[in-house]
Amino acid sequence: MLIPLILAGGTGSRLWPLSRQLNPKQFLALTDAHLTMLQQTASRLKGLNIGAPVVICNEEHRFLAAEQMRLAGEGGAQIILEPMGRNTAPAIALAALQAVAGGEDGMLLVLAADHLIGDAAAFRDRVSQALPLAEAGKLVTFGIVPGKAETGYGYIQKGAALDPGGFVVERFVEKPDYATAQNYLESGDYLWNSGMFLFKAGRYLEELERFRPDILEACRTALKGAAKDLHFTRVDQGAFAACPEESVDYAVMEKTSSAAVVPMDAGWSDIGSWSALWEVSTKDESGNAVSGDVIQQDSSGCLLRADHRLVATVGVEDLVVVETKDAVLVAHKERVQDVKKVVSEIEADGRHEHLSHREVYRPWGVYDSIDNGHRYQVKRITVKPGAKLSVQMHHHRAEHWIVVSGTAKVTNGEETYLVTENQSTYIPIGQVHALENPGVVDLDLIEVQSGSYLGEDDIVRLEDKYGRVGTAGPI
């Protein structure tokens, strides 16, 4: 039985302003109107003999990952939380150690949460074909059959043929220049490095111990100190912080003599930029990939995305225009790799647009920061049925709640009462309070904050059903 290991870390800064640090591309519906990249990764496994998936993600994305896996029908997924990113070799080591803890040597299928596979049946066929090689002790990677000379990917050179349908890995090659990539394409001996793997957990740990015992030891220590919290496994923060940061390619795959590659031609893309998304998107007769409320006149070869407002273009070519509630990106398709420079400048300026959207998702629902100014802030808050915000208090702000729809159960100091549509309530500064949706439909309300300081870190949590007691941060 396969254990799918879905690596869901990363920030996807090249897809700003849609992808943000607190809601990166793996949690966005980029190529499907209904499924996020993570959910698509889980759904394409159907038809394989698999166990419960293991998802590895950042601490700050834990509730996004859990909710999206639940909606994908994978509520039993195990979620391992990394307190900080340490690249793929340690992440895989954590899952491999967990897989062998019960005395069985599980078969890990390592996948990135943010890749597109256009042909899921071909993907499953290649995985099935690779199984005998992995059973025989090979560390299998999947090489994408290249369709063009691509300078943005690493390459794998095929060596001697292996039965069934695989090859010895002759060597891994870093991203080449265009002339070299063209030579690779014409030779037929090279495949794109996909970052997908299949191997026994025990074999991976053997090779990691051989080549990078420091990484393995740090991960063992981090997992020994792990704590269970709801759906999550929290590894020991101090031990994991001491772990070296290394990719699985550098740590193991480029060093082992057991590396094998199975070619895969399944419509793969890593959606690593806006131009990559344009390439895989449906286009109109002028070559425009259009999403949302868009009017285009005499425009061609563009990616035009409007999430909240009308976007109109006239007489432009090969542009990327992406509109969100709080930011608009206009870039030439040939320069989209430089979007990450914009993100770096936003961060350096002390702004917040790289961190999150106006809409911020929480385990209990979502809030949208509608307006703010000197000593006030306005939010629209949606609380899911049965959900409850933490019991908390604020040192610097008061809050006024107006219910738009649904019913709120409010704790306000020693009192607990219901507030229904078109009613309101007031929470003074320093008052212990909580908000709950006791109904079966969403609770929508407007929150008006006022005070000398309105930062999200002015929260003292006293009780929380989502395990956030004692932490300061967003509601």
All structural domains of the chain: 2-269 (3.90.550.10), 285-348 (no CATH), 359-463 (2.60.120.10)
| Chain-centre distance for alpha carbon 418 | 37
By CB atoms closer than 10 A (0-12, 13-18, 19+), residue 121 is exposed
Distance, CA of 63 to CA of 86 (rounded, Å): 20
With tokens 């031609």, the residue in question is 265
Question: What integer pLDDT is reported at residue 382 of this predicted model?
Answer: 97
User: Phi/psi of residue 323, each to 5°?
Assistant: -110, 130
The tokens for 120 are 């899921």
Residue 182: helix, strand or coil by DSSP?
helix
Task: Check: CB of residue 42 under 8 Å from CB of residue 48.
Answer: no
Question: What integer pLDDT is reported at residue 365 of this predicted model?
Answer: 92
Residues of the chain with pLDDT under 70: 469-475
Going from the C-alpha of 371 to that of each of 56, 305, 325, 374, the distances in angstroms are 35, 24, 12, 11
- Sign of the torsion formed by the C-alpha atoms of 46, 52, 58 and 59: positive
Distance, CA of 95 to CA of 222 (rounded, Å): 12
DSSP 358-426: SEEEETTEEEEEEEEETTEEEEEEEE-TT-BPPEEE-SSEEEEEEEEES-EEEEETTEEEEE-TT-EEE
Provide the greatest CA pair distance for the chain. 76
Question: What integer pLDDT is reported at residue 469 of this predicted model?
Answer: 65
Residue 169: helix, strand or coil by DSSP?
strand
Give which of 72, 69, 126, 88 is closest to 267, Cα–Cα: 126
Question: What integer pLDDT is reported at residue 104 of this predicted model?
Answer: 78
Residues 256-280 pLDDT 10s:
999 999 999 999 999 999 999 999 9
The tokens for 236 are 């020991």
The tokens for 219 are 């991960």
Q: Which amino acid, 457?
A: D
Q: What angle do CA 218, 219, 223 make, to 5 degrees?
A: 120
353-388 burial, b at 16+ Cβ within 10 Å, e below that, comes to bbebbbbbbbbbbebebeeeeeeebbbbbbbbeebb
This model's pTM is above 0.75: yes
Distance, CA of 184 to CA of 82 (rounded, Å): 37
Question: What integer pLDDT is reported at residue 474 of this predicted model?
Answer: 46
Q: Which residues contact 164 (CB under 8 A, 6 or more apart)?
A: 129, 132, 133
Give which of 32, 110, 16, 114 is closest to 65, Cα–Cα: 114
